[in-house]
């Protein structure tokens, strides 16, 4: 959406989104690193990822993946909780 336009019909319920991130962060951080997780990547791809995620290693990749998958999927599946209609102004 261009910077000059804003959604007048919907808004993000920040309190619910923050609560989700807090709860899912605990879940993500508690998950053990799988024994078979390795970053056996072609050098070009590894360099590209390292440019995006400095200090890339298996544990960091595991946590980043957890954030993307668990939080993203939850928001997608329960979007009605996090994207709500704006209340009418009086």
pLDDT reported for residue 78: 92
Sign of the torsion formed by the C-alpha atoms of 21, 49, 41 and 38: negative
pLDDT at 88 over 60: yes
Please state the rounded mean pLDDT for residues 71-77.
Answer: 92
Sign of the torsion formed by the C-alpha atoms of 50, 54, 59 and 62: negative
pLDDT reported for residue 1: 52
Q: Which residue has the higher pLDDT, 86 or 88?
A: 86
pLDDT reported for residue 16: 95
Q: How confident is the model at residue 50 (pLDDT cuts 50, 70, 90)?
A: confident
- What are the angstrom distances between the C-alpha of 19 and each of 7, 15, 64, 71, 84? 23, 6, 18, 11, 16
pLDDT reported for residue 55: 77
Q: Please count the residues of the chain.
A: 90
Other CB atoms within 10 A of residue 80 CB: 9
């Amino acid at each position: 959406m261009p910077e000059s336009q804003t959604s007048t019909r919907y808004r993000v319920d920040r309190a619910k989104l923050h609560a989700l991130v807090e709860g899912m962060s605990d879940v993500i951080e508690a998950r053990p690193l799988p024994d078979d997780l390795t970053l056996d990547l072609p050098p070009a791809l590894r360099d590209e990822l390292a440019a995006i995620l400095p200090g890339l290693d298996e544990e960091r990749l595991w946590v980043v993946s957890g954030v993307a998958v668990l939080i993203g999927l939850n928001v997608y599946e329960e979007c009605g909780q996090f994207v709500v209609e704006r209340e009418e102004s009086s």
